[in-house]
Amino acid sequence: MKALPQQDPTHSGIWSQPWETVAAQLEADVQRGLSATEIQKRRARYGFNRLRRHARRSTWSILVDQLRSLIIGLLVTAAIVAFVFDDHLEGWAVVLVIVLNTAIGFFSELGAVRSMEALFSLGNMTTRVHRDGELREIPAEELVPGDLVAIEGGDVVTADLRIVEASKLQTDESTLTGESLPVQKQAESVELAAPLAERFSMLYKGTSVTRGSGSAMVVATGMATELGEISALVSSAKDETTPLEVRLDQLGRRLIWVTLAVTVLVVVSGVINGKDLVLMIETGLALAVAAIPEGLPIVATIALARGLRRMATRHALINRLASVETLGATSVICTDKTGTLTENRMTVTQLVLASGNVEIEDPGGDASATFRLDGAPIDPATHLPLRTALETVVLCNNACLGPAADDLSTAAVGDPLEVALLVAGARAGLRRDDLLDALPEEREVAFDAEDRRMATLHGDGGRFRVAIKGAPEALLATSSHLLAADGRQTMDDDERRAWMGRNEELAAAGLRVLALGTKHVDALDADPYGDLTFIGLVGLVDPPRLDVREAIERCHRAGIDVVMVTGDQPVTAAGIARQVGIVGDEAESVVHGGTMKPLAQLTEAERQDLLGAHILARVNPRQKLELIELHKQAGHVVAMTGDGVNDAPALKAADIGIAMGRRGTQVAKEAADMVLQDDAFSSIVAAVEEGRTIFDNIRTFVLYLMSCNVSEVMVVGLAALLGTTLPILPLQILFLNLVTDVFPALALGMGPGDPHQMDRPPRPPGEPILGRPQWLRIAFYGVVFTASVLGALLLAEQWLGLNSVQAVTVSFLTLAFAQLWHVFNMRRAESPLFRNEITRNPYVWAALGLCTGLLLLAVHLPALQQVLGVEPPGLPGWGLALGMSSVPLLMGQVAKWITKD
């Protein structure tokens, strides 16, 4: 036996070779199948028919991911320093923060990840195969190249196969190619240059057989299949760091340098001025604690987790917390067509007859439709061309409708295109069973991929009525007459050209077009296609989802570019794009995948043209990957939607991959960051809005937390430089950061968001959480806070005559309550002073009440008094603290009124 060839169906052109040649190369026996001995040899060479398994995220990896943050690193460093200087209470307090944040993020993300993984479980597939002269049913993973597989309608193709025999064989390849219509298959070879969607002699792993039967040889298994190649692209695509993670890391880096700079400055200046070294180190530790917003990781995690839960109620599962916010930064959505923008089902919308255009208003269910001829209602029973057309599509058909009481489209079995034709007939009261009683089928001439037409012959009063459907050019070429309202008319070449023009107009509108013909013959074996009477054209559409156009309009208002990326025909893609509003009614060029250059070979002008394209057709998985990369290089945050195997690599490479839960394949769901359980495109817009709300809330509470922390740094730093009593102690700072700061920040994170935020463009991809305007506000607030706290300390000592502990308590309370009132400075500039998003937020009032109670306990509970180093300051002290704490609120509102920011 000679050496078996390597598996390489993608590049060896098997589809272009006669099946006999392929069988000889594989040493396959198409009569008896492979022997047991031969199967063992081939399995040893080729392995099992398995794809590479999607790696399951372990519990440990999810836990570790919660700790991969610079801010968490800062907290760990602060805890270590505290333990080194024997400040164990402070050290354990910081450790508690780390544990709390990690637990919240861990359990939220673990639940989301496990929910996603639950979607991926599939049963084991089996395949019927000829072996040792017997037909056996075996697990699909045991297939080897050279096996002879039996194929029937309803089967899922479990390996890449070269067809040997085919009888009316059709497959649904939409998950692999994006083509929404079933593909007619044949044993005859096709051209070597044929694209994947036109390799009619092949069956591909992961597709399904919709009709017919046949037999085929296994030519590739496992990772060597087309599906395996796509799976490899998914594995090679990088996991992207979300914009939020990048921004939080940027903030963390800034905090590191700010913390180090302030700490070194204060310690060095104190030592130079003759202060005690240990005291200065303790002061530096206090500054480090003040500079780090210990509550930030907790608040950010809880805000994201809440967004995740809110998205789950809208049928969207997220497998990564930070992905929720990334949606809000999306500037480009690359969307598949079939099953995402459309319903993935065919519907007859119009018939073009010699007497005019007939539009069909489909009511759904089993109700009758309204037929309108050039806008006027018409009765199909009395209009000869319309009735003949409807009878023809019902007779020349192999599909089957369900009982009349059922929804006609959902209860049907067969080719979706033929089902749509039967439904159109049933809307006019023409059921196939009833017609066959009067016109029994005597012969069928099966659809042929070469001339693209089909015919059935029916007994009709001693003669035979021929019903024909097929490609317009095929039927027009053999038509000698035209059916008009008053009977048959002779058809000339000018009329044929006019009908081809009508065909092109329908195709340009996104419709699939079929031509209809008829005639009578005397013999059953007569040529069914010669000397036809041309009836007209049928326009079918895979209708857009009802809510898609409105969702895309919201995207456009929000400054989000929507790009259709499909494997379907360019004309069909352009028609659907116009219907759903991706492009206007004006003509827009469609980029064909066959003309796309590799990304590395594009000129700058070609890159700009591709960036501006809104419709890309006949695009393969690798080109989708390059398109995503092109947009990302241009500075866009890219979301990719899809449901097919062909979408999976781009889903993983995009900033946000969005898979469809109902129609989506396992491979697509595994690659995605989000799965839409209801397959609704409108849910994507809701997710974008939720993401924008989350970012706005994160920016608000980070601004709040950082202004509080900077004020603490400025208070302690200025006091240390001046050599005065420290207004707040390290544990007091930690108490503020973990208690009085966190709860108001959490309340801000629960805010409803700006109701008009989907009317503004997405923020720039590189925009930080805190930009120049926010840092200027933080500096302003820091100065005001510092003046209020140091002023309160001075007045407590000099005016009220309080001891040092009571004076520090006054300054501590001043800062604490100033930070609580500071939450009202977080309202939007355009919001009213008293009735705004902050005052209407019930969580804010709950946080203020809780924190006030905790401050009362801190001052009056002996155990907390000892830990925090405070004692009751008396009514004058309380009055001073409350009065001075209102200064930042008043100054903040005045500044907001002046600057309108």
**What residues form DSSP beta bridges with 184?**
170
The two beta strands, 356-361 and 347-353, are antiparallel
Answer positive or negative: Cα dihedral of 752, 757, 762, 766.
negative
| Virtual torsion, Cα 688, 293, 103, 330, nearest 10 deg | 10
Of 455, 464, 439, residue with least CA distance to 522:
464
Show Cβ contacts of residue 746 under 8 Å, excluding neighbours closer than 6 positions. 298, 299, 302, 303, 701, 843, 847
Q: 389 is written with which tokens?
A: 């057309």
Tokens 């219907």 identify what position? 579
Chain Cα centroid distance, residue 232: 20
DSSP state of 805: H
- Beta 674-676 vs 656-660: how paired, if at all? parallel
Asked if residue 168 lies in contact with residue 556, where contact means CB atoms within 8 angstroms, the answer is no
Distance CA 364, CA 407 (A): 7
3-state secondary structure of 467: strand
Rounded (5°) CA angle 367-369-371: 165
Two structure tokens written together for 778 = 């933080």
Nearest of 334, 320, 239, 322 to residue 675 by alpha carbon: 320
Contact 631, 334 (CB under 8 A): yes
- In 101-197, beta strands by DSSP E: 126-131, 134-139, 148-152, 160-172, 183-184
Nearest CA to 535 among 514, 513, 516, 512? 516
C-alpha to C-alpha distances, 695 to 1, 472, 532, 635, 742, nearest whole angstrom: 66, 54, 66, 19, 17
- In the numeric block, which tokens belong to residue 825? 């400075």
Alpha-carbon gap, residue 61 to 211, rounded angstroms = 46
In the numeric block, the tokens 């208002």 are attached to 557
> Do 140 and 49 form a contact (C-beta atoms < 8 A)?
yes
The burial of 862, by beta-carbon neighbours within 10 Å (0-12 exposed, 13-18 middle, 19 or more buried), is given as: exposed
Distance CA 474, CA 601 (A): 40
Buried-state track 833-851, b at ≥16 Cβ within 10 A, e below 16 = eeeebbeebeebeebbeeb
- CB-based contact 464:458 (threshold 8 Å): yes
Those residues whose C-beta lies under 8 Å from the C-beta of residue 773, and which sit 6 or more positions away, are 901
- Is 29 known to be catalytic? no
State how far the Cα of 430 lies from the Cα of 401, in Å rounded to an integer.
12
- Euclidean distance between CA atoms 122 and 436, whole angstroms: 41
> Residue 136 in contact with residue 129, Cβ under 8 Å?
yes
Which string of DSSP letters, residue by residue, matches 220-281? Answer: E-GGGSHHHHHHHHHHHSPPPPPHHHHHHHHHHHHHHHHHHHHHHHHHHHHHHTT--HHHHH
Three-state secondary structure readout of 733-791: HHHHHHHHCHHHHHHHHCCCCCCCHHHCCCCCCCCCCCCHHHHHHHHHHHHHHHHHHHH
From the candidates 147, 160, 336, 696, which is the catalytic residue? Answer: 336
The residues carrying an active-site annotation are 336
